[in-house]
A and B are shown apart, each in its own frame.
Chain A
Amino acid sequence: MLLNEPTVVCTPTRDGRCAILSVGGEVDLATLPRFRRALVPVLDAASVLVVSLDDVGHLSAAGVRFLEEIRAVKEDQGGGLLLQCGEHRPARLVLQALGIPVITELPISLRSGASVTPP
């Protein structure tokens, strides 16, 4: 596997209502299918998903479109999706250019010691 391929790490919180998906690597035309495959199994880890994009070096418009599809699915299920990315990170620039809301930091309640069972 090439280093630039997208990785997804899922960390559900203790109460199971929320999960943090940490994404790394590059999401583009070549790697998008793998990104979708990696993300799909963890979609149902919790009703609310926080997708952390700090370590994403490239995020294509198609990658953004996929995240928006996930948002629609989660909202249909009564849950939700929150995108998180720090200042000056590439993914933040892309999301802001497209007018998609993004938070800078993870909510305090999710930051540490909240995980039970990494997948």
Chain B
Amino acid sequence: MSADLQRAVLPTDIPLLPGVRVAACALLAETDADARGDWFDVVPTPAGQVGLVVGDVGGRGVAATVLTARLRTLVGERLAAGASIGETCAAAEALARRAPEVRGATMCLLVLDPDSGELRYCTAGHPPPLVLPAGGEPRYLPPSGSGPVGMGSACAVAAARLEPDDLVLLCTDGVLDRPGRDATAGTVELAQVAADAVGEHGDHRVPGAAAERACVDVMDALLRRTGHSDDLTLLSAQRLRRPDALGMSWSAEASAVRASRVVLAEWLRGLGLDEADLVSVQHAVGELMTNAVEHAYVGAGSETVRLEGALTDDGELRLRVSDHGIWRCTERDPPGGLGRGLAMTRHLCGELFLDRRVDGTSATVCFRPAHPARLLSAGPAPVPPGDGARDRLAIRDRSTASTASGARIRLDGAVDEATAVRLQAELRHRTQAGTRPLTVDLTGVTRLTAGGVAVLHGAMRDALPGAPLRLCAPPDSVAGYVLDLVALPYADDAARVP
């Protein structure tokens, strides 16, 4: 069974927006059972900004997919309604109170103003955005300091700025934490690979081509280098110059139809329309121009036809053909009908508005150009060597009689979706459901994913007063790196205890 359900909850089209080019690429599990909770979204806001979200709900299978849908819907609706990042995070927290299974979900929520380049973001337990400046060194933005959803941490919002042509790249932890790479090495590698992909080979004549490369080429390069052990999701946005509106007049002659077609094609290419969309729009507008020239000025003198176009902040392309004549039916038009030309316009563009007045006629077509999100199939999930969670994560008792703070365990190996359930059971047992203190030493952890973080978070939250669950790890370890990222408190006393 293919992971149709997972695909169904992710965007298949990325809207074309003024002043920014967005692209997305996701590598998804082949089967529903392997489906992970990676998700992303692109949401134009009422203030003319664009919201970009990449998240991971942890877990796998249909349950993870259903959670993805809930969280994506909630976040998307809030942003589209004009909510701030703080308000959107608060809504996610509220959802986590009603639906505990959402707890531990991570997301990076970013709102970019294409005009000013200002961006605000919250990394709720999620890897921070990578900025690829045009002609500069790549740099990660600092984590904003918020923890995962539903863990009670306050929403912290940080700000940064993109210069024109700069690009920002969001990813899920599967991108950083790949086979043979811990999260630290994966983080460095992503910056290098992404800089290579959008850097010197850039074709600046194609608007937004770098955004596409930052997703597709980077995904390709990472898979060739290491393969993958999780879903991978990349979402990129390049700040571009806001496109000029189109406005031009021609004298109402047959040659105006072709002349306008040439001008329109150049303008549409500048917006970054895909070729198929361009052909549709060109033909639709061509019929409106034909009608204006043919019908508007029967027997009249030198009159003009005007073509105007604009791409709205929410990604709607509006094209208006106007004249100062009155459209007349010719013998070829069906009585009372629109005629085949307007029927074609409507079929190609969807929406057509006619405004016939005594002093002229205008026809407006509305169209939402988009390009596809690249949703790739990963094939069956790789089975780790040894095939058992027991082989991949060792949980050892390190308690000593003199340990005043209670029992202590040390984890060695991978703390990920595959081992999370066993770890959860172990923590529950050793803390006697949160009633006994426990110290968890993460020094030997080689991999710590969102699913593992959620288990640790959950155990800390469930601990009763006086029986805390403490984490400890060296800051330069894999666990230390990830815990910093997700803003989960831990102590640096791991080395002092054998």
Contact = CB atoms under 8 A, between A and B. Distances in A.
Interface of A: 4, 26, 28-31, 58-62, 64-65, 88, 90, 93-94, 97-98
Contact of B294 (A29, A31, A58): A29
Interface stretch (B107-115, B168-176, B283-291, B359-367): B283-291
A94 B203 CA distance: 31
Interface stretch (B221-229, B255-263, B437-445): B255-263
Given A29-B254, A60-B290, 12 more contacts: A26-B258, A29-B294, A30-B254, A58-B261, A59-B283, A61-B290, A62-B290, A65-B340, A93-B276, A93-B348, A97-B347, A98-B347
A26 B290 CA distance: 14
Which of A31, A93, A97 is most buried by chain B, counting CB atoms within 10 A of its CB? A97
Main secondary structure of the interface of B (DSSP, over half): helix
A67 B405 CA distance: 88
Nearest to B253: A30
B332 interface: yes
Given A28-B290, A29-B294, A88-B276, A98 B344 contact: yes
A36 to B, nearest CB: 14
Contacts, number: 66
Interface range for B: 20 to 34
Nearest to B287: A61
B283 A93 contact: yes
Interface string B261-278: 100000000000001100
Main secondary structure of the interface of A (DSSP, over half): mixed
A4 B254 CA distance: 14
A4 B279 CA distance: 16
Contacts of A61: 287, 290, 339-341, 343-344
Which of A26, A59, A94, A98 is most buried by chain B, counting CB atoms within 10 A of its CB? A94
A86 to B, nearest CB: 13
Interface of B: 254-255, 257-258, 261, 275-276, 279-280, 282-283, 286-287, 290, 293-294, 332, 339-341, 343-344, 347-348
B344 A58 contact: no
Which of A58, A61, A93, A94 is most buried by chain B, counting CB atoms within 10 A of its CB? A61
B257 to A, nearest CB: 5
Which of B257, B275, B279, B341 is most buried by chain A, counting CB atoms within 10 A of its CB? B279
Contact of B283 (A29, A30, A65, A90): A90
B279 A60 contact: no
21 contacts: A26-B258, A28-B261, A29-B293, A30-B254, A58-B258, A60-B257, A60-B283, A60-B286, A60-B287, A61-B287, A61-B341, A62-B340, A62-B341, A65-B340, A90-B279, A90-B283, A93-B280, A93-B283, A94-B348, A97-B344, A98-B343
A18 B275 CA distance: 34
Contact of A60 (B255, B341, B348): B341
B133 to A, nearest CB: 36
B329 to A, nearest CB: 15
A94 B283 contact: yes
